[in-house]
């Protein structure tokens, strides 16, 4: 059986209009050609689809059954066409991206605001993930791209572009304010409780590896799921912890927390855009990506 999309499209218009002449007008086609197409379709399906009379045409029970399916398919085709048109004009569509807390608050928020202001018809779907989670959904092609923190440990076909570097500092609440006056070795500070992101995060991996360089074992007393949860824990004296400097700025200025100076140097980390080069981005997603890449760090 070789029934093309055109057969079903013609059937849909004739059935919707209940008239060959009106369908021919909408399709800018010859009425006799439409009749021939319908006759061919009936022959190939082995059943009558229309009852023809002096009053016009109506669907047979078999025609009604076919129409219920063809109508859904035709509407989906039309929706897909509109979505592609909207994407091309940047007047609609959906962009799905995965972001970490640090990347969102440390770089991405003002860019998203500018993009949304410029393209209000585009729906932004922002998924909050750790870097390993973001890399996994990107591999599975569930998001257009990800904006996360290093190290991402990626391999082809994934590609990483560094957007901005940031510094993490060690801070404590008022209970630990006595640590703010003189620089300390990391080994001295392990006697105090630490708050850190969980074992499934690159932040935990980063600090574990850092302390291993000094033959130290990192065993935080409290593990949290997101960067946003670190500050409340530290403010309430549940422990000291490393946090991106921009997250701590306001609390440092208000005196709710204090910076704890270190003798060891903490390497800077980066906020990165990661994309799956095996997936061709939509026009809308590419526009947002280019806006992100064009921002000065």
**pLDDT at position 297 over 60:** no
Of 101, 136, 89, 117, give the one whose Cα is nearest residue 225.
101
169 and 260 in a common domain = yes
Q: What is the pLDDT at residue 232? A: 95
Confidence of residue 151 (pLDDT cuts 50, 70, 90): confident
Pair (155, 281) in one structural domain? yes
How far is CA 6 from each of CA 59, 70, 81, 137, 207, rounded to the nearest angstrom?
19, 12, 16, 37, 61
Q: What is the pLDDT of residues 208-249, one digit of tens each?
A: 999 999 999 999 999 998 888 999 999 999 999 999 998 999
Euclidean distance between CA atoms 207 and 205, whole angstroms: 6
Into how many domains does the chain fold?
A: 3
Q: For position 86, what pLDDT does the model report? A: 58
**pLDDT of amino acid 94:** 84
Half-sphere exposure of 92 (CA within 13 A, CB side): 8
Output the pLDDT for position 79. Answer: 67
Q: Are residues 122 and 206 in the same domain?
A: no
Domain termination residue (choose one: 87, 113, 128): 87
* pLDDT for 1 beyond 50: no
Query: CA dihedral in degrees (83, 86, 88, 91; nearest 10)?
Result: -150
Domain co-membership, 119 together with 186:
no
Kindly state whether residues 137 and 275 are assigned to the same domain.
yes
Q: What beta strand segments (E) does the chain contain?
A: 50-53, 56-59, 94-99, 123-128, 145-149, 158-166, 168-173, 195-197, 222-224, 241-244, 257-259, 269-276
- List the one residue out of 61, 12, 19 whose CA is nearest residue 41: 12
Select from 67, 87, 107 the last residue of a domain.
Answer: 87
- Exposed (0-12), middle (13-18) or buried (19+): which is 35, by Cβ within 10 Å? middle
Looking at the fold, whether 68 and 135 belong to one and the same domain comes out as no
| Residue-level pLDDT at 217 | 95
Residue 183's pLDDT band, with cuts at 50, 70 and 90, is very high
Taking the CA of residue 184 as centre, how many other CA atoms within 13 Å lie in the half-sphere pointing to its CB?
A: 18
| CATH number for position 104 | 3.40.190.10
Q: What is the pLDDT of residues 269-281, one digit of tens each?
A: 999 999 999 887 7
Same structural domain, 42 and 128: no
Whether residues 261 and 196 share a domain: the answer is yes
Q: CATH number, domain at 26?
A: 1.10.10.10
Same-domain status, 149 and 284: yes
- pTM as predicted: 0.68
183 and 257 both lie in a single domain: yes
- The answer on 252 and 198 residing in a single domain is yes
Count of beta carbons in the 10 Å neighbourhood of residue 185: 12
Question: Residue 277 sits in which domain range?
Answer: 93-164+271-294
Whether residues 158 and 281 share a domain: the answer is yes
């Amino acid at each position: 059986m070789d029934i093309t999309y055109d057969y079903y499209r013609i059937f849909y218009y004739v059935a919707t209009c209940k008239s060959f002449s009106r369908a021919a007008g909408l399709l800018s086609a010859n009425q006799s050609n439409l009749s021939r197409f319908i006759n061919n379709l009936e022959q190939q399906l082995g059943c009558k689809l229309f009852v023809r009379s002096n009053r016009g045409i109506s669907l047979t029970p078999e025609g009604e059954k076919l129409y219920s399916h063809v109508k859904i398919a035709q509407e989906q085709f039309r929706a897909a066409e509109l979505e592609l048109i909207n994407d091309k004009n940047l007047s609609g569509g959906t962009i799905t991206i995965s972001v970490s807390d640090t990347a969102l608050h440390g770089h991405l928020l003002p860019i998203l605001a500018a993009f949304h202001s410029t393209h209000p018809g585009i729906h932004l779907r922002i998924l909050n993930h750790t870097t390993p989670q973001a890399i996994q959904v990107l591999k599975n092609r569930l998001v257009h791209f990800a904006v996360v923190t290093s190290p991402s440990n990626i391999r082809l076909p994934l590609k990483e572009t560094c957007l901005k570097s940031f510094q993490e500092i060690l801070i404590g609440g008022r209970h630990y304010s006595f640590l703010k006056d003189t620089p300390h070795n990391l080994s001295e500070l392990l006697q105090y409780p630490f708050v850190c992101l969980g074992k499934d995060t690159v932040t935990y991996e980063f600090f574990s590896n850092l302390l291993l360089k000094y033959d130290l074992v990192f065993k935080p007393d409290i593990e949290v799921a997101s960067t946003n949860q670190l500050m409340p824990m530290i403010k309430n004296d549940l422990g000291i912890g490393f946090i991106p400097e921009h997250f701590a700025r306001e609390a440092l200025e208000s005196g709710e927390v204090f910076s704890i100076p270190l003798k060891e140097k903490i390497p800077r980390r980066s906020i990165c855009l990661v994309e799956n080069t095996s997936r061709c981005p939509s026009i809308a997603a590419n526009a947002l990506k280019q806006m992100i890449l064009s921002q000065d760090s």
